[in-house]
Amino acid sequence: MMEQVSGIVRSIIYTNENNGYTVCEIRDGKRVHILVGTMPMLMPGESVVATGEWTRHPDYGPQFAVSQCKRQVPTELEEMERYLASGFIKGLGPSTAKKIVERFGEETFEVLQNDPLRLTEIKGIKPEKALAFGQAFAEHEAMRGVVMLAQRFGLSSLYATKIWKKFGASAETEIQKNPYRLMDSDIGLGFKTCDSIALGLGIDPCSEFRLKSALWYLLGLSALNGHTYCPREELLREAQKLTGAPESLMQNAFDGLLLESAIHVERQHPDRVYTHYLFEAERYCARRLIALRCSIGDSPVRDIRGWLADYENRHRIILDENQKAAVMIALENGVTVITGGPGTGKTTIIKVLIEIFQEHGINVLLCAPTGRAAKRISETSGYEAKTVHRLLEVAYEIGQDDQVCFSRNEENPLDADAIIMDEASMIDIVIMSSLLKALKPGTRLILVGDADQLPSVGPGKVLSDIIESGEIPVVKLDRIFRQSEESMIIVNAHRINRGLEPIFSTDEGDFYFIPRLNAQEAVKTVVELCVSHIPERFGFDFMRDIQVLTPMRKGDTGVHHLNAMLQQRLNPPHENKPEKQAGGVIYRVGDRVMQIRNDYNKVWMQLDRQGNLSDGLGVYNGDTGVIADVDMQNRILTVKYDDQRICEYTFDELDNLEHAYAVTVHKSQGSEFPAVVIPLLKVPPVLVYRNLLYTAITRAKKLVVIVGDPEVLRRMVENSNERERYSGLKERLCAQNRFA
């Protein structure tokens, strides 16, 4: 239950300038309280009214954990003096503060704010110092205004800090002019929150920038859902629903965005609305892919069949004609796609190509869209693979439209004659565009992936559009080599891909189905499988080997509920395991967690097997690890990632993490696990399609257990029509080829 305490700040025990976390002492009459929480720029002498709850620290005793803090500048002369002497004004110490308050009394703050040159009336304060004092005071008061404004609209101090960092002293003015700027990615508020603030400030519901902001928000939401463009009628219809504005005014706002070049509509496709950066990315990809396809020179190997025969002898393997054709086509073309399901020999072809390139002095680089995918192909191929972000060298700055910048580009291309990208189905249009910008003319690009898996999380459907265009050479591998005799996982993956129901194991085997029609029973079964049944029967360790994959986030068999149930059994509370509750979730030492958004500036440390310590920047969406420490005193949570990187998160950054005992199928792309458990019960119709099920089971190397409704499984197998994605790359490739 929330309580309130109030008093005068007597001292600041600790403060973190980056996130505003503060430990302070306040006095209420004769009583003294210790307050802890996010209270940025709090100073001695301020009067505070704090809302929160009492807690007990094991070492420091009772503390009041603050959720909201209302502040007032001091009015008593003694407190004004203490406030000025607290250190927020550089060079203004206790003796100078005393002189200022004695000279100006109750007018002290007005003088500092509006007429700082009057400070020269005090002996020893020169004009330049007086102006510096005034500027520092004004900036501090502006920040206080932002904090007060944020609290007025129910925003946490974390958002106040972000707002201040973005706008500085003009923050309050900028927000008053256009609160929808708080939707920018470096602040991250949603449209409805910004809209509430705007309407609360008295902004006209039909103001043009409100309607433009709604359109822009919906286009961003469309991109988050995987589309590169949004149909015009759909966009305008949804914007009207969101704002309640008349059709004519919404059309005017739309035309305004067009005139500002904030959005793009082509003459030949007036029904398609793009953001400028997605339009440019899609158009660039089409132009560059066709150019690369046409710019290749001669094959580096004259007698390729003879070379392949020698390779087979050296490695004691036999390549089938389709695999040999894939190698030859990749050598003879500037851009090639090699696609196939699990066990069809894609990794073998990657190994062959790398060896050919290395033997003939061709500099080749191997990459994948995510860290997990890069790690997996490194382990299976024996060659180092980098993430695309690492390959392109993230510049750790944000460019226009909040897009990440890379050091490798057209002015500074990669030193490579050939690029092989594995798991190419995961690449989105923006990252593909960035990769193509970093390739020199004549560089071979070989895209390897499974076109039947889920498309990228980001906008576009790059691999399938390239394949369906017919403009880029494609080799489809369809013969199963790996595990076809002893494993039903790969057999069933191909059966599902052909629209056939899987064959389930009974006693011995690696592919099981456990029917459950009741949600509670299904969850109970999933938990017992992970906690005891699979570890006892198959010898798998949950934290290392078993992954629960679910189609959805919400519901009884969604990510949120399953993670809570699995945490309760696999990592229950313990006096030796510190924990922190944030956003209704408990983060405990020993928990399996996942980073859920790219953070290009996150610092990490890494200790290799030889004991050498290195550091770097960048933690990416989908990286998984285990919570190694929760430091309540310094409000720091430490995660040790699977690749041994160690990262620290302030408690205000915990919205970047979520539990990973269970993850969505989409988040599992590019990964492999010894065993997967897949609950299929009450799956929303929008997620009942074949390639989602196919992607889930192909994440497993040794064991698949499906728990749920046989009817849901049947409908997923039969439904080959996944949710439509709006993308124009296929048509652009076809059109571009006509002019090549």
3-state DSSP of 138-203: HHHHHHHHHHHHHHHCCCCHHHHHHHHHHHHHHHHHHHHHCHHHHHCCCCCCCHHHHHHHHHHCCC
pLDDT for 485 beyond 60: no
What domain range is 666 assigned to?
500-718
CA distance 318 to 430: 39
* Bridge partners for 579 per DSSP: 588
Q: What is the pLDDT of residue 403?
A: 65
Q: Are residues 537 and 473 in the same domain?
A: no
Mean pLDDT computed over 376-393:
91
Q: What's the rounded mean pLDDT across residues 416-425?
A: 95
What percentage of the chain carries pLDDT values higher than 90?
54
Residues 545 and 401 in one domain: no
* Domain annotation covers residue 195: no
Q: Are residues 604 and 644 in the same domain?
A: yes
Confirm if 549 and 563 have CB atoms less than 8 A apart. no
- Residue 121 domain-assigned? yes
Give tens-digit pLDDT for 326-349: 999 999 899 999 999 888 889 999
Q: What is the mean pLDDT of residues 557-567?
A: 96
The tokens describing 237, both together, are 């219809």
Residue 160 inside a domain? The answer is no
Residue 297, pLDDT score:
65
In total, how many domains does the chain have? 3
366, pLDDT greater than 70: yes
CATH classification at residue 589: 3.40.50.300
Query: Does residue 370 have a known ligand-binding role?
Result: no
Q: Range with the lowest mean pLDDT among 480-489, 609-618, 630-639, 708-717?
A: 480-489
The pLDDT of residue 2 is 77
Task: Say how far apart CA 197 and CA 174 lie, in whole Å.
Answer: 13
Residue 443 binned pLDDT confidence (cut-offs 50, 70, 90): very high
Based on the fold, state whether residues 361 and 457 are members of the same structural domain: yes
Q: Is residue 530 part of a domain?
A: yes
Whether residue 42 is found in the same domain as residue 81: yes
For residues 427 and 392, give the distance between their C-alpha atoms in angstroms, rounded to a whole number.
14
346 assigned binding-site residue: yes
Residue 203: predicted pLDDT: 85
The pLDDT of 628-647, averaged and rounded, is 89
Same domain, yes or no: 18 and 103: yes
Domain boundary, last residue among 149, 171, 196: 149
Q: Does residue 266 sit within a domain?
A: no
Instruction: Give the three-state DSSP class for 566.
Output: helix
Please determine, for residue 148, whether its predicted confidence score (pLDDT) is greater than 80: no
554 plus 702 within the same structural domain: yes
Q: How many angstroms separate the CA atoms of 483 and 80, rounded?
A: 77
How much is the pLDDT for 398?
A: 52
Q: Decide if pLDDT at 72 tops 70.
A: yes
Helix (H) or strand (E) run with residue 345 in it? none
Token pair recorded at residue 281:
């990315």
The answer as to whether 183 is a domain residue is no
With cut-offs at 50, 70 and 90, classify the pLDDT of residue 447: very high
How far is 377 from 565, CA to CA, in rounded Å? 33
List the CATH number of the domain containing 14.
2.40.50
Q: What is the DSSP letter of 723?
A: P
Same structural domain, 311 and 376: yes
Q: Which residue, 109, 128, 149, sits at the end of a domain?
A: 149
Q: Is 602 marked as a binding-site residue?
A: no
Helix or strand (DSSP H, E) at 293: helix 276-294
How confident is the model at residue 527, as a pLDDT? 96
Domain check: are 448 and 304 in the same one? yes
Chosen domain end from 122, 149, 176? 149
3-state helix, strand, coil in the chain (%, to 5): 45, 25, 35
593 and 693 in a common domain:
yes
449 is in an annotated binding site: no
Q: What is the mean pLDDT of residues 114-140?
A: 89
Q: Residues 147-154: what's their mean pLDDT?
A: 71
The answer as to whether 346 is a domain residue is yes
Does residue 351 lie within any of the structural domains?
yes
Average pLDDT over residues 248-253: 95
Residue 611 marked as a ligand binder: no
pLDDT over threshold 80, residue 147: no
User: What pLDDT is recorded for position 124?
Assistant: 87
pLDDT of 200 above 90: no
Mark whether 537 and 571 lie in a shared domain.
yes
Question: Residue 626: pLDDT above 70?
Answer: yes
Co-location of 536 and 655 in the same domain: yes
pLDDT (tens digit per residue) in 252-308: 999 999 999 889 999 889 999 999 999 999 999 999 999 999 887 667 777 888 888
pLDDT above 70 covers a percentage of the chain that reads 96
